[in-house]
Amino acid sequence: MTEYLLIALALLGVLILGAIGLVVPRLRRRPAPPLPKEEVRTRAEEDLAGPPVEAPEADLATGILVEPPVVEAPAPVLEVPEPTAGRLVRLRSRLSRSQNVFGKSLLGLLSRDRLDEDAWEEIEDSLITADVGIDATREIVDRLRERTRVLGTRSGEELRALLAAELVNALDPTLDRSLHTAPKLGAPAVLLVVGVNGAGKTTTCGKIARVLVADGRSVILGAADTFRAAAADQLETWAGRVGAETVRGPEGADPASVAFDAVKRGIDAGVDTVLIDTAGRLQNKVGLMDELGKVKRVVEKHGPIDETILILDATTGQNGLEQARVFTEVVNVTGVALTKLDGTAKGGIVIAVQRKLGIPVKLVGLGEGPDDLAPFDPAQFVDALLGTEAPGRDA
């Protein structure tokens, strides 16, 4: 009987051990529970947070808390803007890409066997379609007709050269297109940037700062577009990329006071140029006049403004010219920066702008890239406008 009892107990023991053997591995295979939320960090979160901060450790011998070494954030890497010389040549394909149809159709018309009345009318239409403007078109075509008649020009190459010469002439190559940004008598030059919002004003302001830095000038930017808070942030980002300082006020601050402070800061810091971005989104012409007039008056307490650049969006065509006139009535615009020329086939607007406003186009915007702003050169521009081949040009 005792034997049976012992056997039964032994069997029971084997069964219990077997059961434990089955359960334990399962428990071991169970996935580890998730880490508490704060211990899980994505890569992006880690990048944002920077290196982990170590808690102070106690020195075992002395019991004194030892601070871990301070890990300094890496200094921002400053960008080196491209030199301004040769930018229009580099960006030429941006122009010829959008102007190709215009150039080709003009040259096609000119190389017809007979330049009769219809052909001249079509040439006129092409120029008007490219936004050259009616008066300028008539003048260009009349002069071209006269010269081809007098010279008896027939070859395509000669006609192209004559047309190019007339377009360059319409752009008045004798105009002073330099930006007056050199400091005078120890005070920085002051450059005011005006234009309707959306024309590319803040962007161009940032690009001009890069142009100046590329040319070796020290720059301070004034964020006097206090109408839109993000405009000041945008400007500050542009400035930071080339190590320039930005003077800004609280949202909705008086633009004139921010502009005044920027020039004051420029004088104190001894920089070469102060660049002031202004607002353009105002409900009516009177409000705009008042605000810009005040900015001008207040800034001029420090001395005269050296350069006032009007930013014009080339894609707005002839309509933009009407808006532009308002600015010329308020401030003494000394140069035009024509933006977004890469986005229109109507490059003739350059001629219309100069003619209507009587102000030289000094800069052209040919893309959204930071160095896609080029000093304007009539001969290079016309070359690109007519879409003639030039080797070794990038996109």
Q: Which residues bind ligand GTP (CB under 6 A)?
A: 197-204, 225, 228, 231, 339-340, 342-343, 365-368, 372
Q: Which is nearer to ligand GTP, 50 or 369 (CB)?
A: 369
**Minimum gap (Å) between residue 98 Cβ and ligand GTP:** 10
**Minimum gap (Å) between residue 234 Cβ and ligand GTP:** 6
Q: Which long-range contacts (CB under 8 A, 24 or more apart) does 98-101 make?
A: 98/341, 98/342, 98/343, 98/344, 98/345, 98/347, 99/130, 99/345, 99/347, 99/384, 99/385, 99/386, 99/387, 100/345, 100/387, 101/345
CB-nearest residue to ligand GTP: 365
Q: What whole-number distance in Å separates Cα of residue 270 and Cα of residue 378? A: 35
**Minimum gap (Å) between residue 88 Cβ and ligand GTP:** 13
Q: Which is nearer to ligand GTP, 225 or 272 (CB)?
A: 225
**Minimum gap (Å) between residue 69 Cβ and ligand GTP:** 42
**Minimum gap (Å) between residue 150 Cβ and ligand GTP:** 40
**Minimum gap (Å) between residue 209 Cβ and ligand GTP:** 13
SS (H, E, C) the chain: CHHHHHHHHHHHHHHHHHHHHHHHHHHHHCCCCCCCHHHCCCHHHHHHHCCCCCCCEECCCCCCEECCCCCCCCCCCCCCCCCCCCHHHHCHHHHHHHHHHHHHHHHHHHCCCCCCHHHHHHHHHHHHHCCCCHHHHHHHHHHHHHHHHHHCCCCHHHHHHHHHHHHHHHCCCCCCCCCCCCCECCECEEEEEECCCCCCHHHHHHHHHHHHHHCCCCEEEEEECCCCHHHHHHHHHHHHHCCCEEECCCCCCCHHHHHHHHHHHHHHHCCCEEEEEECCCCCCHHHHHHHHHHHHHHHCCCCCCCEEEEEEEHHHHHHHHHHHHHHHHHCCCCEEEEECHHHCCCCCHHHHHHHHHCCCEEEEECCCCCCCEEECCHHHHHHHHCCCCCCCCCC
Query: Are 272 and 182 in contact, with CB atoms under 8 Å apart?
Result: yes
Give the residue ranges of the annotated binding site for GTP. 195-202, 277-281, 339-342
Q: Which is nearer to ligand GTP, 177 or 228 (CB)?
A: 228
Q: Which is nearer to ligand GTP, 305 or 314 (CB)?
A: 314
Q: Which is nearer to ligand GTP, 141 or 295 (CB)?
A: 295
Q: Which is nearer to ligand GTP, 148 or 202 (CB)?
A: 202
Give the residue ranges of the annotated binding site. 195-202, 277-281, 339-342
The structure tokens listed for 10 are: 């032994």
Maximal C-alpha separation, the chain: 141
**Minimum gap (Å) between residue 206 Cβ and ligand GTP:** 8
**Minimum gap (Å) between residue 315 Cβ and ligand GTP:** 9
**Minimum gap (Å) between residue 351 Cβ and ligand GTP:** 18
